[in-house]
Amino acid sequence: MTKILGISAFYHDSAAAITIDGKIVAAAQEERFSRKKHDPRYPYNAIEFVLNFAKIKLSEVDHIVFFEKPFLKFERLLETYVAMAPRGFLQFSKAMPTWLREKLFQKKMLFNLLKKHDKNFKEISKIFFSEHHLSHAASAFFPSPYEEAIVLTADGVGEWATTTVAIGKKNSLKIKKEIHFPHSLGLLYSAFTYYTGFKVNSGEYKLMGLAPYGEPKYVDLIEKNLIHIKEDGSFRLNQDYFNYTTGLSMTNEKFHNLFGQKPRDSKKDKITQFHMDIASSIQSVTEDIMIKICKSLRKEFNIPNLCLAGGVALNCVANGKILKEKIFEKIWIQPAAGDAGGSLGAALAFWYLELKKSREVTSKDAMSGSYLGPYFDNEEIKNKLNNLGAKFEILEDDALIEKTADDLSKGNAIGWFQGRMEFGPRALGGRSILGDPRSSSMQKNLNLKVKYRESFRPFAPSVLRDDVNEWFELNEDSPYMLLVADIKREKQNQMTEDEKKLFGIDKLNIKRSEIPAVTHVDYSARIQTVSRDTNKKYYDLINKFKDKTNCPVIVNTSFNVRGEPIVNTPEDAFNCFMGTELDNLVIGNCYLIKEYQNPALKKDYTKNFELD
């Protein structure tokens, strides 16, 4: 048996994954263990978890693959500084000490860190380095259910590449073309994330959520000044407007003058219609580029399947538009499309490309529903809850589903902790907060009382796969919540003339459909389809909710508060439950009701995490 450990680290979202004979056994992000969101440090805890889960020691691992090449990254940094000199000295002086001290000697550094897991680990020759975008592409193609596919990856930047096109066929994956730094779709989107006052590398999906409140008024301005887009979707950014190659911010004065405002300071400036229009404009430009790239690739390679990965592939609105355009017959998106997924891609790339092992393609993907993280059995959960002083009752599966569905239909907000934790940024019914989508106050309540986050942010629906087409303009699998589609017209409530005149966040108060809690202001929803064979318990719960309410849809949001990584252990779940206004916690077969808990266990939870 060949065991391969994949690692991504030292930039953001560090993670570890393990494959045995090409089968994905376990994968997890470090942030879930360290409780520090987007933790970039060496993923000690995540590696410990994947090794323990696979029941092997590090010395028994055959190959260890890091997700990118540090030398190539260093080359890019040096060349950029030389090209830009003397501008960029500040960034240079900040970056070089870390590089010269440790990053350049990453192999040795990794070796020393790895030895901490197992003193018998002595072979530095087991450590290999993949390439950033090759790792993304491998994570998108090898687990996909396709024998042949076009693989498109796009993110901020890896070594040099920012956008890559590869062709995957059976067990081969060949990179065909690349767009190089500083021309980057991910960095363009991040520049606007920064400009609108959100945190770069984490606030991008807030910008995406804000977009439907605005009008794409600035598209022309962006396309005339900031970016030159060619017919095939390839692009060049005008560096006169950006500061990321040389400075310590994303945008410069010229950029701010172009739009007529300084970047929003999230500590004191409110989000205005201007920021919503900016969000709408950059979202529209991103979609335009992605669609153009996809159309030209479909024409050039004539392959009907598309695989996506890289941070830009988490832009589910753009993904939904690609699907709607019917450019490809099938689309598959890696659920851990960001850098965390690079760990998995690195391991898979080694198995198929370096060891040249054959690949069997099945009708379902190889991600096991992305439930690749830690698992706790009922006995463990019971003991942990007792230690925490929790009051709970233990129910059999049927009674548990019945009671949860019943409480959901009464409008309760429920913490749902079941089975293995998800790998990737989305909660998919393993570590989720659930609610009734029919309630018109649910979105506001969940945002303000449970998640403590901005009220404009939408929630996503989980819907039974068989019923998706009855409620949404979608008839595809979307198991990883990475596709956005509209609510079916017959389920929508059309706005009156007066309501249409409302601007921005005021639109949020209108009941827009039969399931308002998951209907964004433009009638769209980020859909997760749920099948019995990937998550039976979750499927049964939604099915029971449907029996009671005639609605096969529930609200599904990640089990955390703003700024907190998704809960990992029963302790994390209980703390979050006690620190927020969640009504119930269903953890394994244990059922907790808030009013029965000891009030002394309540904590001021919101201050524990830095807001993102």
Partner 1 sequence: MDFVKEFWEFLKIRKKYWLLPIIIVLVIFGGLIVLSQGSAVAPFIYTIF
Q: Which residues bind partner 1 (CB under 8 A)?
A: 71-72, 75, 78-79, 82, 96-97, 100-101, 104-105, 107-108, 124
Q: How far is the CB of 159 from partner 1 (least distance, A)?
A: 11
- Residue 369's identity, in one-letter code, is G
Spatial contact of 467 and 543, defined as CB atoms under 8 Å apart: no
Is the CB of 130 or the CB of 319 nearer to partner 1? 130
Give the closest residue to 299 by CA, choosing from 231, 235, 236.
231
**106 vs 162 by CB, closer to partner 1:** 106
Token duo for residue 270 = 């409110």
Closest approach, Cβ 99 to partner 1, in A, equals: 9
Closest contact distance (angstroms) between CB of 110 and partner 1 is 13
For Cα atoms 562, 563, 569, give the angle at the middle one, nearest 5 degrees: 90
CA pair distance 226, 184, nearest whole angstrom: 12
- Using only C-alpha atoms, the chain has a radius of gyration, in whole angstroms, of 24
- How far is residue 385's CA from residue 43's CA, in Å, rounded to a whole number? 27
**Is-contact 589 378, C-beta < 8 A?**
yes
21 vs 210: CA distance, rounded Å? 43
β-partners of residue 586 are 416, 591
From the CB of 112, what's the least distance to partner 1, in Å?
Answer: 13
Amino acid at 169: K
Please, what is the minimum distance in Å from the beta carbon of residue 35 to partner 1? 34
Closer to partner 1 by CB, 106 or 447: give it. Answer: 106
* Closest to partner 1 by CB, 115 or 359: 115
Nearer of residues 124 and 175 to partner 1, judged by Cβ: 124
Q: Whole-number minimum distance, CB 100 to partner 1, in Å?
A: 4
DSSP designation for 201: T
Q: How far is the CB of 69 from partner 1 (least distance, A)?
A: 9
In contact, 348 and 138? CB cutoff 8 Å: yes
User: 211 with 317: CB under 8 angstroms?
Assistant: yes
Nearer to partner 1 (CB atom), residue 82 or residue 448 = 82
> Rounded distance, CA 562 to CA 50, Å?
27
For partner 1, the closer of residues 75 and 397 by Cβ is 75
67: left (phi over 0), alpha (psi -120 to 50) or beta: alpha
H helix intervals, 59-203: 70-84, 89-101, 106-114, 132-141, 185-195
Q: How far from 43 is each of 32, 74, 90, 250, 417, CA to CA, in Å?
A: 10, 22, 29, 27, 23
Q: 16 and 53 in contact (C-beta within 8 Å)?
A: no
- As measured in angstroms, the least distance from the Cβ of 77 to partner 1 is 11
How many other C-beta atoms lie within 10 A of the C-beta of residue 140?
Answer: 29
Closest separation in Å from C-beta 71 to partner 1: 5
Question: Residue 162: what are its φ and ψ, rounded to 5°?
Answer: -120, -25
**Measured CA angle at 64 (ends 60, 70), to 5 deg:** 160
Q: How far, in Å, CA of 8 to CA of 338, rounded? A: 10
Least Cβ distance, residue 125 to partner 1 (angstroms) = 10
Residue closer to partner 1 (CB basis): 82 or 221:
82
Which CB sits closer to partner 1, 100 or 448?
100
Residue closer to partner 1, measured from CB, 129 or 146 = 129
Cβ atoms 424, 341 nearer than 8 A: yes
Output 97 or 389, the one with its CB closest to partner 1.
97
Shortest distance (Å) from residue 181 CB to partner 1: 15
Q: Between 122 and 236, name the residue whose CB sits nearer to partner 1.
A: 122
Of 292, 297, 289, 346, the C-alpha closest to 315 is 289
> How many whole angstroms separate alpha carbon 126 and alpha carbon 153?
27
Q: Which of residues 104 and 395 has its CB atom nearest to partner 1 in the complex?
A: 104
Instruction: Identify which of residues 157 and 250 has a Cβ nearer to partner 1 in the complex.
Output: 157
Other beta carbons within 10 Å of 449:
12
Beta bridge partners, 6, equal: 17, 65
CA 291 to the chain's CA centroid? 21
CB of 72 to partner 1, least distance (A): 8
In the complex, minimum distance from the CB of residue 436 to partner 1, in angstroms, rounded to a whole number: 57
